[in-house]
Structure 1
Amino acid sequence: MEFKSSLYLVPTPIGNLDDITIRALEVLKSVDVILAEDTRTTGVLLKHYEIKNSLKSYHIHNEHYQTEKIIADLKAGKKMALVSDAGTPAISDPGFLLVRDCLQNNVSVECLPGATAFVPALVSSGLPNDKFVFEGFLPVKKGRQTRLEILANETRTMIFYESPHRLIKTLNQFKEHFGEDRKASVSRELTKMFEETKNGTLGEIISYFEEKKIKGEIVVVVGGQTN
């Protein structure tokens, strides 16, 4: 393929391996190096599509000291693709630092369109999606309470990522700050065999998930304040 950029941000499937674009596959085949959050996870995707290319680890624990070397390679003419384990790089995943430094060093960057977990979750929620705010993962400890107090007055639909073992705790905190009658939606295992979306009030959703063994990646969508 003809390269227009030095660094490509390539979205990968959030579950179903068929959810990848033809262009994304062409980029992954053609670049010199694929920067992967987890080379094992990306290796499964590449094997599925019979792509044999050089993989280099780039994740939250090494991005600060790897970025300078990567920038040097890009400036020397190498073409690279950045992927996360699932979805679009830099959305609650590594990527921001590298993109920022590329732009500061006049290295061209292009982000391909593709999978992002919060979009199908938002659309399936039935909540207003003309205006929304993406919060990603809330702080685990420091700053969490303050953030929730601020969001209690948010009028736009709010989107959060959460882990299975913290879901009930987070939903109960939402109930405390937003009220148990606030409309919400929880999506898990999107695009996978056991995909599920539960819509209702926070009180109803808490009751539903308290009776279940919760697995999978989770997106929580909460309606904004209407009063």
Structure 2
Amino acid sequence: MKITIAIDGYSSTGKSTVAKQLADWLEYIYVDTGAMYRAVTLFAMRKGLISDGFFDKEQLIKKLDAITITFVKNPSTGKAEVCLNGENVESLIRTLEVSSFVSPVATVSEVRAKLVEQQQRMGEEKGIVMDGRDIGTVVFPNAELKIFMTASAEERAKRRYNELLERGDSITYASVLSNVIERDTIDTTRKDSPLVKAADAIEIDNTETNIEDQFHTILQLAKDRIAKRV
């Protein structure tokens, strides 16, 4: 018997990493909702709808019907990558520039409604692992397993900084830390679907936990929930 697994939490806590691991092990479908919001943000940037100190929300809302987001499997890695209107934008949406604008875009109720509707359709048959900010509270409030991931802002910024350096981006740790803190503030204080821990979610603080130990902890939780469904 398959279940729905919802993984929420702060930015750069490794939600996507553990969600992909779980989906691979369980042979479930993995959906990166953060990538969907990043794709909408990239669309807005390309259309000149958002930049430093400027955001034309009304025009973005009017253009939402022109946005189609899909996932395709990379034949080399076997991982799902996000496409915006048929274009693979997986690497383009992972820049610090997109990160700096994604939270304001994600506060727009119409954007959230469009993406939540798509996400709920993806999970109708269960057997899905989805990570984001409001999966256990809004998208799948009845998910059999809900995980809420957290870590210190400094540790999350260090991880993100190293990731961007490996990509070849020219950035500073201070700018990444500032971005992490700013995103936390926006995510937790927005009026529409703020980042909060669901009452029945299990909190995982991985500030000092390695990826392997964390995976086995969450995998065991998933196995326990699946066993209860049999």
Coarse TM-score class (shorter-chain normalised): 0.3 to 0.5
Structure of higher CA gyration radius: 1
Where relative contact order (Cα < 8 A, 6+ residues apart) is larger, the structure is 2
Provide TM-score, normalisation by structure 2: 0.32
Provide TM-score, normalisation by structure 1: 0.33
